[in-house]
Structure 1
């Protein structure tokens, strides 16, 4: 393993205004611990309460979705990993990004849903959210790219951005970015 240049990493994180970064297997307790750290950071940053709630909510939704997906697929811990970054953009808005391994076909479905949500305004997203809430849910129904994604889009101040990098063995790495 090549040695890490932590100073260089620190400087890069500072330039990109990264406040929190995690990469690795993600458990329920780890989601909670990182969430607590995020809340503390947002308080120290004097984030507006509604923005802090939205950032926290988006973080929780993204990380729980990643964990749920990996469990659903029965993947071992290393493949159930997440990469999560919370930063500020040049305008001072919060940017929540998360990525994980997916089956390529599942990633393509998620990207299509993100593209479907992108042109919608706040009132259209609200109507879609309410419509999704009214749909009957069954235990064996496929989940994913539904209510949670719509909720993230509602909290975002600009359209969600998703990318899918194709990997060998019919897998991909999906990334989702929300600006709050």
Structure 2
């Protein structure tokens, strides 16, 4: 075997990763992983508030993959929709938990997403709350599936500014990564 699974397992344990998923995502995948995450958070002795916050951010990030991933395959037999591809990692750094996800985006979508993240990244909790209320009153963009509320909600729940990266892959795609620390 050319892939050392034991080494991979030991490395992710050492890095504090308690959950890692890569592959096709559907609504039923979100529900199944969500249930496993709730159990795992209890085993990690996370308080109820922390567990709920991690779960909420997990759901937001999985929905971002479902709605915005440019990489799709086949069809989910239940929903008859294409499956979105992405990766999700949940872990712990010292006392903080983090939710980290990534997926391919079309290059043309990068500037708008970068602008949305940068516009909220360093705002305080009161400023984020005000923007969240304002966005809820506005109608969403025609090309958006939520007016950026998910990003704002994640920023509101984060203990540190959202971390992100856009890594160009080729003339069509960029790989987008986002990390939220709770």
- For normalisation by structure 2, the TM-score amounts to 0.88
Tell me the residue number matched to 1:36. 35
Aligned-pair Cα RMSD in Å:
1.9
- The 1-side partners of 2:72 and 2:2 are apart by 30
Selected match of 1:101 from 104, 107, 112: 104
Tell me the residue number matched to 2:73. 76
Task: Return closer, same or farther for 1:76/1:7 CA change in 2, 3 Å cut-off.
Answer: closer
Tell me the residue number matched to 2:77. none
Tell me the residue number matched to 2:181. 179
Number of matched pairs? 174
CA contact (8 A) 1:162 1:176 kept: yes
Extract unaligned runs of 5+ from structure 2. 75-81
> Higher helix share goes to which structure?
1
SS of the equivalent of 1:168 reads coil
Extract unaligned runs of 5+ from structure 1. none
- The 2-side partners of 1:3 and 1:32 are apart by 33
Structure 1 segment 136-155 matched on structure 2, within 5 A = 136-137=139-140, 141-143=142-144, 146-155=148-157
Q: CA deviation at 1:128?
A: 0.5
SS of the equivalent of 1:8 reads helix
Task: Return closer, same or farther for 1:33/1:79 CA change in 2, 3 Å cut-off.
Answer: closer
Tell me the residue number matched to 2:136. 133
Q: CA deviation at 1:79?
A: 8.2
Q: CA deviation at 1:169?
A: 3.3
- The 2-side partners of 1:3 and 1:79 are apart by 29
Selected match of 1:86 from 62, 65, 90: 90
Q: CA deviation at 1:76?
A: 2.8
SS of the equivalent of 1:46 reads coil
- The 2-side partners of 1:123 and 1:12 are apart by 39
CA contact (8 A) 2:71 2:103 kept: no
